[in-house]
Amino acid sequence: MERPDFFELKNGEKVKLPFSDKEYQNRVSSLRKVMSDNDMDMVILTSMHNVAYYTGFIYCSFGRPYGCVVTQQKIVTISANIDASQPWRRSHCDNVIYTDWRRDNFLRAIVSIIGRDDPPKSIGIENDHVTLDIKDKLNSIFSTAIFKDVSKHLMKLRMIKSDEEIEIIKNGARIADLGAEEIVKHIKPGQTELEIAIAGRDRMEREIAKTYPGAEYMDTWVWFQSGINTDGAHNPKTNRALQNGDILSLNTFPMISGYYTALERTLFVNEVDDASLKAWEANVKVHERGLELIKPGVKCSEICEELNNLFADLGYLQYRTFGYGHSFGMLSHFYGREAGLELREDIDTVLEKNMVISMEPMIMIPEGKPGAGGYREHDILVIKEDGAENITKFPFGPSHNVIKN
């Protein structure tokens, strides 16, 4: 029996995607303009975030390559046979499935989409994602083509959010608040980080299902840290039991069709000592000032400079651990950073309408020093014509978050 290298399968019906057909058409039109402006005959997308952004399909690679071929006439996803027809159902475009029976069938599927008669002279690829192995193989197949990096162009397009994107991000922020409300109900000595995190995650997933009944439910999570485990912003939860007077870090991350949002808060169990209160209040002052600074026309680096000066005046700049905020959209902690929109010393991007960015100062005081632990607050803001809308509603600071259950 002869088995194919690749094939098409339309199993079932197309499902309702998180965005309208017009939204996806606008995105693809913007991509094709980038291609025209930069003399690219085709683009091969390989990252999870760009494939999802332009097609609606969120892949799970498990070591296999996935992609999307875009020309001025076509847009086609390429997926592994292990997923059957799900990539076709969960996208607004066509799909080609490659099989595992022969090595490099992924590449043969690319050739099948564009044909062999008129090979592309210039191909856009994501230099920040495509592996050296895939790049070498693309070079061998398209030996006369010039390869150009398209990743920075696409990142700039993704940094400006549509009204439909802002709507899903706002719902995500609302659901993150609900997760936090549920978590607070379970905070008391003896409860573990793990069990508290489970309660918050389950609350958010149920609300996502209620709000988006036709969505895919994946990757919503909670990091809930206590004591020394608060020293890193991305530390996993543990099975440590909470103790009276513990510093806590609450982090809720709802994921809606590839769009993640976040809420982060410092809390204490029942009481807070004087040194910890001083550090906490300092971080809150910086957070409040940061919220005031986010507006259109301001450089990211200028915000960072002013907040650095404030931290220095308060005596805590040496304890700062990372940037003051970053973009939100088709990205998460695990894929898709929009590095051009971050509140850092080395980013001079000017904030503009329909950007979405966080304000999230953090300081970490090492063990053995008064007030030891990690302090952070995190709100998400949508840039408007003449200001910014804070879409995070869960309260922050000592007057709200010394939890006495």
Report which residue type is found at 211: T
Q: Cβ atoms within 10 A of the Cβ of 96, count?
A: 22
List of domains in the chain: 6-158 (3.40.350.10), 160-403 (3.90.230.10)
Q: Using CA atoms of 166, 167, 168, 169 in order, give the dihedral in degrees to the nearest 10.
A: 40
Task: For residues 333 and 233, give the distance between their C-alpha atoms in angstroms, rounded to a whole number.
Answer: 11
What SS3 class is residue 255?
Answer: strand
Q: Cβ atoms within 10 A of the Cβ of 28, count?
A: 17
Whether 234 is a known active-site residue: answer yes
Report which residue type is found at 261: T
Task: For residues 116 and 134, give the distance between their C-alpha atoms in angstroms, rounded to a whole number.
Answer: 19
pLDDT at 214: 84
Give φ, ψ of 344 to 5 degrees: -135, 165
Helix (H) or strand (E) holding 299: none
Report which residue type is found at 326: H
Per-residue burial over 118-131, b if 16 or more Cβ lie within 10 Å, else e, is ebbebbbbbeebbe
Task: For residues 373 and 228, give the distance between their C-alpha atoms in angstroms, rounded to a whole number.
Answer: 6
Q: Using CA atoms of 234, 325, 265, 332 in order, give the dihedral in degrees to the nearest 10.
A: -50
Tokens of 289: 């000032």
**Is the Cβ–Cβ distance between 287 and 361 less than 8 Å?**
yes
pLDDT at 116: 66
Q: Sheet containing 94-98: which strands, arranged edge to edge?
A: 6-7, 94-98, 75-80, 67-70, 42-45, 122-125, 146-149
Task: For residues 147 and 121, give the distance between their C-alpha atoms in angstroms, rounded to a whole number.
Answer: 9
Give φ, ψ of 295 to 5 degrees: -165, 160
HSE-up of residue 322 (Cα within 13 Å, Cβ side)? 16
Tokens of 404: 């006495």
pLDDT at 405: 84
Rounded (10°) angle between helices 193-211 and 163-185: 140
pLDDT at 198: 98
Tokens of 288: 């409040």
> Cβ neighbours of residue 118 under 8 Å, at least 6 residues apart?
none
DSSP string spanning 355-379? -EEEE--EEEEPTTSTT-EEEE-BE
Radius of gyration of the chain (CA): 23
Which of 234, 287, 333, 378 is catalytic? The answer is: 234
Matching residue, tokens 């050296």: 132
pLDDT per residue, tens digit, the chain (405 aa), is 789 999 999 999 999 999 999 999 999 999 999 999 999 999 999 999 999 999 999 999 888 999 999 999 999 999 999 999 999 999 999 999 999 999 999 999 999 998 866 889 999 999 999 999 999 999 999 999 999 999 999 999 999 999 999 999 999 999 999 999 999 999 999 999 999 999 999 999 999 999 999 888 888 999 999 999 999 999 999 999 999 999 999 999 999 999 999 999 999 999 999 999 999 999 999 999 999 999 999 999 999 999 999 999 999 999 999 999 999 998 777 777 788 999 999 999 999 999 999 999 999 999 999 999 999 999 999 999 999 999 999 999 999 999 998
> Cβ neighbours of residue 133 under 8 Å, at least 6 residues apart?
none
CA nearest neighbour of 284 among 121, 141, 395, 168 = 395
CA nearest neighbour of 187 among 176, 178, 200 = 200
Task: For residues 41 and 148, give the distance between their C-alpha atoms in angstroms, rounded to a whole number.
Answer: 11
Vertex 206 angle, CA 203 and 212, to 5°? 135
Matching residue, tokens 């003051």: 324
Tokens of 170: 């706002």
Q: Cβ atoms within 10 A of the Cβ of 335, count?
A: 17
